[in-house]
Amino acid sequence: MHKATPNPPEPETDPKKLQEATDRALDYYLNPKQAKSENKPSPGQLFALIEGIDTESLLANLSETLASADAMISDLAFDLEGSRRQVALGILQLIELSGLLANRMLDSVNPQP
C-alpha cells in the first residue's frame, strides 16, 4: 500500500537542546523580563512628575498654580489697554474657570464638612 503523505520527522532527542527549550519556555512565563520604563524624560525636558503622587496632592498643586497664574494675569490685565487688555482678561477667565474645575475635583476627592 502506498502512503500519500511522508513520515513525520524524527523528534529531537538531544537532551541538551530539550533542556534549553524547556528553560526558555519556563523563563518566558515564570520570570518575565522587567519592562523598560517608557517614561524617560527627553533630553530637553526640564520638569517631570515622579510616580506615585496621590490625586489630592496633584489637584492641590494644580489649584495653587492656577491661583498664582490668576494673580499674575490680573495684575497684567489692569496695566494694559485696548485689545491687549481684552486678550489678557480672556486668559484670566480661562484660568478662573480651570481653577473652579480643579477645586470642584479636589472637593470630590477630599470632601470637606
Determine, yes or no, domain membership for 86. yes
Determine, yes or no, domain membership for 93. yes
Please indicate, yes or no, whether the overall pTM of this predicted structure exceeds 0.95.
Answer: no
Number of domains present in the structure of the chain = 1
Q: What pLDDT shows up at residue 66?
A: 92
Domain that residue 85 falls in: 55-107
| Per-residue pLDDT tens digits for 3-59 | 777 777 777 678 888 888 888 888 888 877 766 656 676 788 777 778 888 888 888
Determine, yes or no, domain membership for 43. no
Buried b (16+ CB within 10 A) or exposed e, 2-27: eeeeeeeeeeeeeeeeeeeeeeeeee
Determine, yes or no, domain membership for 46. no
Determine, yes or no, domain membership for 89. yes
Determine, yes or no, domain membership for 15. no
Determine, yes or no, domain membership for 28. no
Determine, yes or no, domain membership for 25. no
